[in-house]
C-alpha cells in the first residue's frame, strides 16, 4: 500500500501515443503505471488522430508527466500468451484497445493465469482483436497486388495500393522484405506507405489511390489464368466470399471478372454436360427398347451422315456375343448386322467351327455406318476412338441385357469397345481376357481383313481365324 500512497487517489492520467501501432511505447508506459498502482479507471490512452479521453481533459497532468515508479516497486508480471495477444491487439483500429490491454495487464498481477480463462469477457475481447489483426495481416500477404513501373534510373519498381482495416503496415513490412528482398517495391496505404530499395526500408506519409499506377500488362495474363482455373461445374460462391470478402475486390485485378463468371457458370456447366452426353435416360431394359432407342441416337457425328442405326440381333441370354466394328453398306440397307460380304464369310467360318449363329447375339461396336461418298459409292471409313467410346454406352447396355459368357471381338475397334483401350489384335488373340463382370473376351481379326488379302497371306490368316473360332467354340462348350 506504500505505492498507492504516493499517487493521488483521484488523479487521472492520459498517455498519448506517437504512432497508432507503437506497442513498445505502450508497454513501457503501462509497466510504469502498474508499478505506480494506477488503476485502469484512472488511465486514458490517446492515439494520433483520436478524440482523446473524455474524463481526462481537466484532471490530467501535462503529457509526459507520468508518475515515476518507486524504486521498490514490484516487477510487473505478464504471461507469454498476454504478450502475444497484446502485440496483435495493439494494431487493431478499435480506439478502446490500449485501455483494454491495460485493464488485462492490471488484472494479470493478481491472477497470472487469467489469459487461460477464455470465458472471461476481457480475455475474449482481446483475443478477438488479435485474431482480426492476424486475419487482416494474412489477407494483406495474400491480396497485395504489385504493378510494375519504370523508375528514372531505368530500373523497375513494383508498387501496390492496399487498404488494410488495421494498423498493420509496419508490422508486416518484414514479410515483404524477406520475400522480395531483391526487388524495389512500395506499398501505399491510406494510413502510411513503406518503400524498399533493396537495402533500406523507408516510410512516407499516407497516399491515395491516385498515387498508385493504374495497370500492368501482366494483369491480362493473370486474369485469364483466374478465369481458366475456375471450374464452373462446382460453384460455391459462399466459400469464396467468406475467404475473399467484397471489400478487397476493388484492388484486385482479377476480381472484376467474378460477377460475369458466376453468371455464366450454369450455362457453361450445361454445355460441358451436353458436349459429352448421350442422354441421361437409364439404359433400356429389354432388347426391343434398346432397338428403339438406338434408332434415335445422334450422339456422334456419324449419325449425321444419313445412315440408319443397325441394332444387334440374337436371343437374350445368348452365351456368345459376336461384336463387329460397324455396319457396312449392305447392313445399313438391310438394317441387320453381318449380312454383306464380310458377314457371309463369317457365316462360313462359324459353320466350320460348329457355332450356330442363331444362338449367338451378333452386333457391332458402332451402330451407324461411317462412310465417305465417292460418286455413287459409299466407302467404308474406320470409326475413331471417340466415336467408339460414345457408342460404348450402347454396347454396355446390350451386354447388360444379353449377359453373354463370352464376347468375341472381331478387330481392334470391337476390342476397344469392350476394354476401353486400344489393344493390338495380334498380341491379344488366342487367349481369353477376363472382364470385370465375370465374362471373358476373345479377340480376333475382322473377317473383312481376310477379304482384303490374297494368296498365301490370305491362306495363313484364314487358318489363324479358323483356329481362333474353334478355340472359342470349345470354350463355349466348356462354359456351357
Q: How far is the CB of 234 from other proteins (least distance, A)?
A: 5
232 counts as binding other proteins under rule CB under 8 A: yes
- Binding to other proteins in span 19-78, by CB under 8 A: none
- Binding to other proteins in span 235-254, by CB under 8 A: 235-240, 243-244, 252, 254
**Following DSSP, what letter does each residue of 301-328 receive, concatenated?**
GGGGGSPPP---BS-TT-SEEEEES---
- Contact segment (CB under 8 A) with other proteins among 10-18, 31-39, 191-199, 232-240 equals 232-240
The answer to whether 158 and 148 have CB atoms below 8 angstroms apart is: yes
Q: What is the largest CA-CA distance in the chain?
A: 124
- Contact segment (CB under 8 A) with other proteins among 190-198, 228-236, 282-290, 403-411 equals 228-236
Give 480's contacts (C-beta < 8 A, 6+ positions apart). Answer: 319
170 phi, psi to nearest 5 deg: -65, -35
Q: How far is the CB of 320 from other proteins (least distance, A)?
A: 23
Q: Which three cell numbers stand for residue 362?
A: 451378333
- Contact segment (CB under 8 A) with other proteins among 27-35, 199-207, 387-395, 455-463 equals 387-395
Nearer of residues 433 and 453 to other proteins, judged by Cβ? 433
- Binding to other proteins in span 127-156, by CB under 8 A: 138, 141-148
- Contact segment (CB under 8 A) with other proteins among 189-197, 341-349, 403-411, 419-427 equals 419-427
- Helix/strand number for the chain, H first, E second: 18, 14
Nearer of residues 435 and 462 to other proteins, judged by Cβ? 435
The answer to whether 415 and 441 have CB atoms below 8 angstroms apart is: yes
Which residue from 73, 183, 334, 453 is in contact with other proteins, where contact means CB under 8 A? Answer: 183
**Run of H or E residues at 387:** helix 385-402
- Binding to other proteins in span 161-180, by CB under 8 A: 175, 177-180
Q: Which three cell numbers stand for residue 321?
A: 456375343
The answer to whether 441 and 407 have CB atoms below 8 angstroms apart is: yes
- Report residue 373 CA to chain centroid gap: 46
Q: How far is the CB of 174 from other proteins (least distance, A)?
A: 10
Q: How far is the CB of 338 from other proteins (least distance, A)?
A: 23
- Site track for other proteins across 260-299, x = CB under 8 A: -xx--x---x-xxx-xxxx-x------------------x
Q: How far is the CB of 424 from other proteins (least distance, A)?
A: 14
473 counts as binding other proteins under rule CB under 8 A: no
Binding-residue total with other proteins (CB under 8 A): 81
Q: How far is the CB of 203 from other proteins (least distance, A)?
A: 20
Nearer of residues 49 and 238 to other proteins, judged by Cβ? 238
- Site track for other proteins across 185-224, x = CB under 8 A: -------------------------------x-xxxxx-x
- Binding to other proteins in span 94-133, by CB under 8 A: 113, 116-119, 124
| Rounded Cα–Cα distance for residues 331 and 335 (Å) | 6
The answer to whether 271 and 181 have CB atoms below 8 angstroms apart is: no
> Cβ-count burial of 158 within 10 angstroms (0-12 exposed, 13-18 middle, 19+ buried)?
buried
Nearer of residues 258 and 345 to other proteins, judged by Cβ? 258
Give 113's contacts (C-beta < 8 A, 6+ positions apart). Answer: 79
Q: Is 53 helix (H, G, I), strand (E, B) or coil?
A: coil
Separation in Å, CA 286 to CA 201, 283, 292, 310, 401: 78, 9, 10, 16, 7
- Contact segment (CB under 8 A) with other proteins among 15-23, 61-69, 286-294, 416-424 equals 416-424
| Rounded Cα–Cα distance for residues 57 and 61 (Å) | 9
- Binding to other proteins in span 306-365, by CB under 8 A: none
Amino acid at each position: 500500500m506504500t505505492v498507492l500512497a504516493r499517487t493521488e487517489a483521484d488523479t487521472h492520467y492520459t498517455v498519448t501515443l506517437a504512432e497508432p501501432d507503437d506497442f513498445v511505447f505502450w508497454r513501457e508506459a503501462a509497466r510504469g503505471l502498474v508499478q505506480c498502482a494506477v488503476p485502469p479507471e484512472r488511465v486514458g490512452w490517446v492515439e494520433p488522430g483520436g478524440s482523446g479521453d473524455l474524463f481526462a481533459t481537466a484532471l490530467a497532468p501535462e503529457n509526459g508527466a507520468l508518475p515515476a515508479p518507486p524504486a521498490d516497486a514490484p516487477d510487473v508480471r505478464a504471461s507469454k500468451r498476454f504478450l502475444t495477444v497484446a502485440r496483435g491487439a495493439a494494431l487493431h483500429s478499435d480506439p478502446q484497445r490500449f485501455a483494454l490491454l491495460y485493464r488485462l495487464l492490471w488484472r494479470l498481477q493478481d491472477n497470472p493465469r487469467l489469459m487461460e480463462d477464455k470465458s472471461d469477457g476481457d480475455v475474449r475481447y482481446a483475443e478477438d482483436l488479435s485474431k482480426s489483426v492476424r486475419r487482416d495481416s494474412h489477407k494483406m500477404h495474400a491480396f497485395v497486388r504489385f504493378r510494375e513501373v519504370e523508375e528514372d534510373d531505368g530500373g523497375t519498381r513494383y508498387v501496390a495500393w492496399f487498404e488494410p482495416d488495421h494498423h498493420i503496415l509496419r508490422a508486416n513490412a518484414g514479410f515483404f522484405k524477406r520475400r522480395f528482398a531483391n526487388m524495389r517495391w512500395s506499398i501505399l496505404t491510406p494510413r502510411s506507405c513503406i518503400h524498399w530499395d533493396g537495402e533500406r526500408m523507408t516510410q512516407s506519409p499516407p497516399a491515395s489511390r491516385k498515387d498508385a499506377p493504374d495497370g500492368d500488362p501482366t494483369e491480362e495474363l493473370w486474369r485469364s489464368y483466374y478465369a481458366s482455373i475456375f471450374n464452373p461445374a462446382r460453384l460455391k460462391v459462399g466459400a469464396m466470399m467468406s475467404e475473399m470478402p467484397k471489400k478487397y475486390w476493388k484492388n484486385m485485378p482479377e476480381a472484376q471478372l467474378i460477377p460475369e463468371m458466376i453468371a455464366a457458370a450454369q450455362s457453361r456447366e450445361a454445355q460441358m454436360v451436353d458436349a459429352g452426353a448421350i442422354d441421361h435416360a437409364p439404359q433400356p431394359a429389354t432388347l426391343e427398347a434398346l432397338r428403339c432407342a438406338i434408332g434415335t441416337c445422334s450422339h456422334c457425328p456419324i449419325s449425321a451422315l444419313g445412315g440408319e442405326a443397325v441394332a444387334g440381333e440374337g436371343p437374350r441370354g445368348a452365351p456368345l456375343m459376336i461384336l463387329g466394328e460397324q455396319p457396312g453398306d449392305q447392313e445399313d440397307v438391310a438394317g441387320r448386322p453381318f449380312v454383306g460380304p464380310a458377314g457371309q464369310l463369317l457365316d462360313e467360318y462359324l459353320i466350320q467351327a460348329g457355332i450356330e449363329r442363331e444362338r449367338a447375339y451378333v452386333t457391332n461396336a458402332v451402330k451407324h455406318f461411317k462412310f465417305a461418298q465417292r460418286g455413287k459409292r459409299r466407302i467404308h471409313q474406320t470409326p475413331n476412338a471417340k466415336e467408339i467410346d460414345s457408342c460404348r454406352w450402347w454396347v454396355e447396355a446390350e451386354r447388360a441385357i444379353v449377359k453373354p459368357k463370352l464376347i468375341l471381338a472381331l478387330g481392334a475397334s470391337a476390342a476397344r469397345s469392350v476394354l476401353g483401350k486400344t489393344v493390338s489384335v495380334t498380341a491379344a488373340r488366342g487367349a481369353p481376357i477376363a472382364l470385370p463382370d465375370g465374362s471373358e473376351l476373345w479377340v480376333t481379326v475382322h473377317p473383312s481383313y481376310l477379304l482384303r488379302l490374297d494368296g498365301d497371306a490370305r491362306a495363313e490368316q484364314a487358318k489363324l481365324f479358323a483356329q481362333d473360332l474353334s478355340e472359342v467354340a470349345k470354350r463355349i462348350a466348356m462354359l456351357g
